[in-house]
Homo-oligomer: A and B are copies of this chain.
């Protein structure tokens, strides 16, 4: 099971703001793409998960913005499972342009049902390093499409 995954994508025109930089709120949308693709790379399907009545909600999000990204930049986002408990999943994110790191994020998730009640994290969502027979270092790379 993969505990790390990378996607690559190009910054869209509307994602930059009047300063010409990607607006900081958009980084959290990139991180969301990253964790959805990490799930997919492990055989999961977040859209189906919602149809079946389980929803992932963000309980905490943070990001350090180190260098600005710009329109048309090709970015590479590395998503890594940082910690999983019975109630929460925490991912770390590193955003790169080439070898240059632009941002560093961390987002904590909880799982709720349709009524918004907190649920235990399902076992199949626990992409824990410990659960990985091949070792924690296994990593994938995909396209996000």
Copies of this chain held together in the complex: 4
Does A131 lie at the interface of the complex (its beta carbon under 8 Å from any beta carbon of B)?
Answer: no
By the criterion of a CB under 8 Å from any partner CB, how many residues of chain A are at the interface?
44
30 A-B contact pairs sorted by A residue (CB < 8 Å): A10-B145, A12-B29, A13-B18, A13-B33, A14-B23, A14-B25, A16-B17, A17-B17, A17-B18, A18-B18, A18-B20, A19-B50, A19-B57, A23-B29, A24-B28, A24-B58, A25-B25, A25-B26, A25-B29, A25-B32, A47-B72, A57-B65, A59-B64, A59-B65, A60-B63, A60-B64, A61-B62, A62-B63, A74-B145, A143-B145
Query: Lowest 3 CB-CB distances: which A-B pairs, in order?
Result: A62-B62, A47-B72, A25-B28
